[in-house]
């Protein structure tokens, strides 16, 4: 039985980090791509929710189908949802999973913003 991956991973994401490389002509930092591919974005309405003043906040997360990438806290994450919505955030934490029949990684985001 083949499962359509677009059910679990309808979005795309690019995860990168800055390693100190500088563009000599502009002076801008040059990001290094760590992961680029399919993902699933989740606002996580039901879990990891906290009362922040008069508002409830939650940590959005993404899932990706690979587990063997060494992410770092504060990696930059850009998610393009299937609807065209673009979300930028920073990697807060991640949890790789490599069990028979279930591999991938869950990545929690912080400091997110819509484009």
Establish if 4 belongs to a structural domain: no
CATH of the domain at 28: 2.40.10
Give me the number of domains the chain comprises.
Answer: 1
With 0-12 CB in 10 A as exposed, 13-18 as middle and 19+ as buried, what is 1?
exposed
Establish if 3 belongs to a structural domain: no
Query: What is the model's pLDDT at position 50?
Result: 60
Establish if 87 belongs to a structural domain: yes
Q: Are 112 and 91 spatial neighbours (Cβ–Cβ below 8 Å)?
A: no
Query: What is the model's pLDDT at position 16?
Result: 96
Query: What is the model's pLDDT at position 53?
Result: 63
Q: For 46-93, write each residue's pLDDT tens digit.
A: 555 665 666 656 678 899 999 899 999 999 999 999 999 999 999 998
Query: What is the model's pLDDT at position 51?
Result: 58
Mean pLDDT confidence for 25-39? 91
pLDDT category of residue 8 using cuts at 50, 70 and 90 = confident
Query: What is the model's pLDDT at position 63?
Result: 92
Establish if 20 belongs to a structural domain: yes
For residue 11, the cross-strand partners are: 39
Establish if 76 belongs to a structural domain: yes
Q: Is a pLDDT exceeding 70 seen at residue 18?
A: yes
pTM of the model: 0.79
Establish if 6 belongs to a structural domain: no
Mean pLDDT confidence for 19-45? 87
Establish if 70 belongs to a structural domain: yes
Query: What is the model's pLDDT at position 57?
Result: 62
Establish if 78 belongs to a structural domain: yes
Domain carrying residue 79: 11-114
């Amino acid at each position: 039985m083949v499962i359509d991956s677009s059910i679990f991973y309808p979005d795309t994401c690019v995860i990168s980090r800055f390693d100190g490389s500088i563009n000599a002509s502009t002076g801008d930092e040059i990001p290094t791509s760590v992961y680029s591919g399919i993902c699933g974005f989740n606002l996580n309405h039901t879990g990891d929710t906290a009362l922040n003043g008069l508002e409830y906040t939650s940590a959005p997360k993404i899932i990706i189908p690979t587990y063997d990438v060494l992410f770092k806290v504060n990696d930059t994450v850009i998610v393009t949802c299937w609807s065209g919505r673009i979300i930028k955030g920073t990697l807060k934490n991640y949890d790789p999973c490599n069990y028979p029949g279930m591999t991938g990684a869950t990545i929690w985001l912080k400091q997110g913003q819509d484009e």
